[in-house]
Amino acid sequence: MKVMVIGSGGREHAVVEKLKTSPLVSEIWVCPGNGGMTNVTFVNLNATDIDGITDYCTKNPPDFVVVTPDDPLSLGLVDRFNKIGIECFGPTKAAAEIESSKVFAKNLMKKYNIPTADYRVFDDENKAVIVIKADGLALGKGVTVANTLTEAIDAVKEAIALKKFGESGKNIVIEEYLEGVEVSVLTFTDGDKIVPMISSMDHKRALDGDEGNNTGGMGTVAPNPYYCEEINSRCMQEIFLPTIKALKAMGREFRGCLYFGLMLTTEGAKVIEYNCRFGDPEAQVVLPLLKSDLMKIMLDTSRGCLNPDSVVFEKEKAACCVIAASKGYPLLYQKGFGLTLPHTDNKETFCFCAGVKKEGEKLITNGGRVLGVTAVASNLKEAIENAYKLMDEVKFDNIYYRKDIGKKAMLALNKD
């Protein structure tokens, strides 16, 4: 099959590398991809150019398309492919609203009794004043955890009055603050059946010790040691299945990857957020642990015949991904620096490129999150150590990365 992957980040690179291992795949196109990807055909169109991509694929039809970023999903790219008869992996625009509108997601959870933080929705800054979320897509940076009333007031003003997030901040959700351990669970779902992937732990804050600004993610480990089979069983009954049943009941059947951001509280697991696609950088630790054929799973998912027994992960291994970012990210940062990648074997060590551009034969930095290095090992301690050994080989001016990815997970394992 000729497969097109829409997107340009580290998540897309992880998907591409996994698809390369499938005997069902003969050729991979990336649209637009990035300079760090190899042995692929580049289609030079922006992922949000819905008309351009539709026109290109009408004239040069791939056999299958994987739509991974949130923006083209929320703009209805999958609906376009369905209309022109090209099979694809990803939810429709209506189903993707579970991520593109926090208000829709919270109202769904309330209506169908899915456990989440208590909340209210506001569109007037004078009425809203301590978790604050912009309603729409904000590149993973639309959330403020306010520790003081002043911080809460400032966050509300920035979102509504100053329009920091544009139309995405026209409405905001103010939530009860939840305490506990965060868990990311990616799932495959064909609209009826839902299969959780191996759990992971993201590190959202920019600085060590979970300090600094929220980012798109500075690193991940998998599996998450706080997430046991008992919790997974409860989540399946109380969260996962009720969510896909709710979407189907609303005429928004979800086929693709549905991401559950959970908080493990003293009252049980509660949903912090939904994403309508693979997480980034969660995909960079989860997919390397997948033993099954990703292409076959995606085909079955899109065709509504997903077999839970066909989704198999490495149970005796662990993975760690550390993100190399440009200093200053997620605020102001410089790009355009020469880049040296680490040596990897694509079996237990990987380098997934994100903000990378190719000029001639030279790679240069081209974004805030530049790349993620991932190591797979027989235990988490070894995976973390090997990921940081890889990071020692990465070279570019202005490099920054957290030095404590996996530390909290190791504390849990050592405690046990």
349 - beta bridge partners? Answer: 375
269 plus 393 within the same structural domain: yes
The whole model's pTM is what?
0.89
257 and 379 housed in the same domain = yes
Q: What is the pLDDT of residue 136?
A: 61
C-alpha to C-alpha distance for 253 and 242, rounded to whole angstroms: 12
Same domain as 201, residue 132: no
User: Which is nearest to 11 in space by CA: 385, 375, 369, 394?
Assistant: 369
222 forms bridges with which residues in the sheet? 319
Structure confidence at residue 94 (pLDDT): 98
The pLDDT value given to residue 177: 76
- pLDDT by position in tens, the chain (length 416): 999 999 999 999 999 999 999 999 999 999 999 999 999 999 999 999 999 999 999 999 999 999 999 999 999 999 999 999 999 999 999 999 999 998 899 999 999 999 998 887 765 544 444 555 666 665 555 566 655 666 666 777 777 667 777 766 577 677 777 889 999 999 999 999 999 999 999 999 999 999 999 999 999 999 999 999 999 999 999 999 999 999 999 999 999 999 999 999 999 999 999 999 999 999 999 999 999 999 999 999 999 999 999 999 999 999 999 999 999 999 999 999 999 999 999 999 999 999 999 999 999 999 999 999 999 999 999 999 999 999 999 999 999 999 999 999 999 998 76
Whether 109 maps to a domain, the answer reads no
Q: The CATH number of the domain where 126 resides is what?
A: 3.30.1490.20
Q: Are 68 and 29 in contact (CB under 8 A)?
A: no
The total of other beta-carbon atoms located within 10 Å of residue 213's CB is 13
Residues in CB range of 190: below 8 A, 6 or more apart: 255, 300, 301, 302, 303, 304, 305, 306
Show the tokens assigned to 121: 């929705």
End of a domain among 127, 151, 175?
175
Angle at 19 between CA 10 and CA 185, to 5 degrees: 60
Q: Is position 146 within any domain?
A: yes
Q: Any idea what the CATH number is for the domain that residue 63 is in?
A: 3.40.50.20
Report yes or no: 379 and 318 within 8 Å, Cβ to Cβ. yes
Asked whether residue 196 falls in the same domain as residue 330, the answer is: yes
The pLDDT value recorded for residue 144 is 66
Domain membership of residue 168 as a residue range: 118-175
CB 168 within 8 A of CB 136: yes
Q: Are strands 27-32 and 41-42 parallel, antiparallel or unpaired?
A: parallel
The answer to whether residues 146 and 205 belong to one domain is no
Tokens at residue 291, please?
């033993």
User: Which pLDDT belongs to residue 416?
Assistant: 63
Residue 98 lies in a domain: no
pLDDT of residue 128: 41
- Final residue of a structural domain among 158, 175, 192: 175
For the chain, the domain total comes to 3
Residue 105 included in any domain: no
Q: In the prediction, which pLDDT does 233 show?
A: 98
